[in-house]
């Protein structure tokens, strides 16, 4: 989580100032919007583990997100289990789904665009299955019983929800930093840079990649469970839809894939842009999506390392050092 330039420090400070400023803004709109952005940030951080550090770009992170949400919802709705059990089970289910997809895809040596397509296919198959089977609520989806209380993981106080989400995002980022600077993280980055060379050096690349998918899946499942507990309703399109997979990868790409702060910064930046466009031009619904597209194209063209990479060029502390934000 090292910051290597004045620009990166300023960028991170701005994000922290915004997140703390929400407490004092006394605006339900900004609070609500930031709550949504933080949940998206969790799945963006999930994508960052495989896509950012491992170079395993997935187009189907909705598979893990949706599996986490559905596992928790089924346990609560169909089996009457407590929400906290569902919460844990959702994270485990997400991890299991990630490991399963990874094990299957990497077993056959899929990488690059083939891996991306397989993950997309998994998410789509799961979406169709979830809309077809009765135990997943079919097309009607699953609705949790409204029973506010910490015992049911349903919190009415928005400030408490916001604080809890800030803690969750901070925890996921801390884990991301821990992974990045661990031996496992080094192996994963080695796989990204040159998988054959990594294997030649004795790294079990298959195992590393499957483990990365499991960790990423756990974070994805966590994001799904958070969504479920916040809105108490899911259906196949909402949690397995391709929009989720796109949101998962767009934040890290804009913010800086393979960095700790990038997914959060990218997600917040994009959401702020969209929300700002909505407020400035209230009679032009959909303009935020146009802005999304323009920013994404510009980022891909001019910012290969995202916002963190751009900020790294402003007042660097040392020359010739990689971005570590």
Partner 1 sequence: MTFKIDRRDLLKASGAIAATLAAPSILRAQAATVKVGVIEPLTGNLAYNGTQSAAGAKFAADAINAAGGIKSMGGAKIELVVVDAQSRPEAAASAVDTLVQAGACAFTGATASALGLASSQAAAKHNLAQVFSIGTAETIVQRGLPNVFRFTPGVNKCTSVALTNLKLLNEGSGNSVKTAAIVHEDGPFGSNMAKIMKEELPKQGIEVVETISHPTPQRDFSNIALRVKASKADILIPSNYLNEYTLMARALNQQRVELKAIYSILGGAASNIKFVRENQEVAQYVMDCNHWYDPTKEESKALAAKVADAKLDLTYDIMVSYATIQVIADALERAASDDRQKMIEALAASTFDGSIMPYGPTKFVNGDNVNSQPVNTQIRGDKIELVFPKEYASAEAVFPIPAKN
- Mention every residue, 6+ apart, whose C-beta is less than 8 A from residue 290: none
DSSP 8-state code for residue 53: I
**Nearer to partner 1 among residue 143 and residue 303 (C-beta):** 143
Residue in 251, 243, 254 with CA at minimum distance from that of residue 267? 251
Q: Which two tokens stand for residue 125?
A: 């198959």
Interface with partner 1, residue 80, by CB under 8 A: no
Q: List the interface residues with partner 1, window 209-228 (CB under 8 A).
A: 227
**From 2-10, 12-20, 21-29, 56-64, span contacting partner 1 (CB under 8 A):** 21-29
Give the integer Cα–Cα distance in Å for 115 and 31: 37
**Nearer to partner 1 among residue 158 and residue 207 (C-beta):** 158
Each residue 39-78 as x (binds partner 1 by CB under 8 A) or -, in order, gives: x---------------------------------------
**Nearer to partner 1 among residue 141 and residue 220 (C-beta):** 141
**Nearer to partner 1 among residue 83 and residue 179 (C-beta):** 83
Number of residues that bind partner 1 (CB under 8 A): 33
Q: List the interface residues with partner 1, window 268-307 (CB under 8 A).
A: 278, 285-286, 289
Strand partners, 234: 142
Give the integer Cα–Cα distance in Å for 305 and 238: 30
Shortest distance, position 144 Cβ to partner 1, whole Å: 10
Give the integer Cα–Cα distance in Å for 219 and 217: 5
Burial 266-294 (b: 16+ CB within 10 A, else e): bbbbbbbbbbebbeeeeeeeeebeebbee
CA distances from 215 to 56, 133, 320 (A): 13, 28, 31
Q: Among 124, 175, 231, 272, which residue interacts with partner 1 (rule: CB under 8 A)?
A: 231
Interface with partner 1, residue 202, by CB under 8 A: no
Q: Taking each helix axis as running N to C, give the angle between helix 242-255 and helix 262-280, from 0 to 180 degrees, rounded to the nearest 10.
A: 110
Shortest distance, position 92 Cβ to partner 1, whole Å: 24
**Nearer to partner 1 among residue 276 and residue 315 (C-beta):** 276
Q: Among 18, 84, 181, 233, which residue interacts with partner 1 (rule: CB under 8 A)?
A: 233
Shortest distance, position 241 Cβ to partner 1, whole Å: 9
DSSP 8-state code for residue 261: S
Give the integer Cα–Cα distance in Å for 248 and 252: 8
Q: Among 18, 92, 121, 143, which residue interacts with partner 1 (rule: CB under 8 A)?
A: 143
Q: How many CB atoms lie within 10 A of CB 126?
A: 23
Q: Which two tokens stand for residue 54?
A: 């491992």
Q: List the interface residues with partner 1, window 82-141 (CB under 8 A).
A: 128, 131-132, 137-141
Answer for the pair 248, 120: CB distance below 8 angstroms, yes or no: no
Q: List the interface residues with partner 1, window 236-275 (CB under 8 A).
A: 238, 243
Q: List the interface residues with partner 1, window 157-186 (CB under 8 A).
A: 158
Q: Which two tokens stand for residue 21?
A: 């400023």
Owner of token pair 């004795």: 202
Q: Among 107, 114, 135, 145, which residue interacts with partner 1 (rule: CB under 8 A)?
A: 145
**Nearer to partner 1 among residue 112 and residue 139 (C-beta):** 139
Task: Using CB under 8 A, list all residues that contact partner 1.
Answer: 27-29, 31-33, 36, 39, 128, 131-132, 137-141, 143, 145-146, 156, 158, 227, 230-233, 235, 238, 243, 278, 285-286, 289
């Amino acid at each position: 989580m090292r910051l290597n330039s004045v620009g990166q420090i300023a960028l991170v400070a701005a994000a922290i100032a915004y997140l703390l400023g929400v407490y004092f803004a006394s605006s339900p709109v900004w609070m609500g919007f930031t709550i949504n952005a933080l949940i998206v940030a969790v799945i963006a951080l999930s994508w960052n583990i495989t896509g950012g550090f491992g170079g395993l770009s997935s187009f189907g992170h909705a598979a893990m997100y949706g599996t986490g949400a559905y596992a928790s919802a089924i346990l609560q709705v169909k089996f009457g289990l407590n929400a906290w059990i569902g919460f844990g089970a959702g994270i485990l289910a997400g991890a299991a789904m990630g490991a399963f997809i990874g094990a299957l895809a990497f077993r056959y040596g899929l990488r690059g665009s083939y891996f991306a397509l397989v993950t997309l296919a998994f998410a789509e198959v799961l979406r169709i299955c979830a809309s077809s089977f009765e135990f997943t609520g079919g097309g009607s989806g699953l609705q949790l019983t409204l029973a506010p209380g910490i015992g049911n993981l349903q919190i009415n106080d928005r400030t408490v929800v916001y604080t809890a989400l800030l803690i969750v995002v901070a925890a996921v980022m801390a884990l991301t930093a821990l992974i990045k600077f661990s031996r496992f993280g080094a192996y994963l980055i080695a796989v990204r840079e040159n998988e054959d060379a990594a294997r030649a050096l004795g790294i079990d690349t298959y195992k590393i990649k499957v483990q990365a998918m499991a960790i990423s899946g756990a974070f994805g499942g966590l994001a799904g469970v958070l969504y479920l507990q916040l809105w108490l309703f899911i259906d196949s399109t909402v949690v397995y839809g391709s929009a989720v997979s796109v949101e998962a990868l767009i934040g890290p790409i804009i913010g800086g894939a393979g960095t700790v702060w990038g997914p959060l910064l990218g997600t917040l930046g994009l959401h702020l842009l969209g929300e700002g466009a909505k407020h400035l031009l209230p009679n032009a619904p959909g303009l935020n999506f146009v802005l999304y597209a323009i920013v994404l194209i510009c980022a891909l063209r001019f910012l290969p390392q995202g916002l963190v990479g751009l900020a790294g060029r402003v007042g660097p502390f040392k020359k010739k050092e990689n971005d570590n934000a």
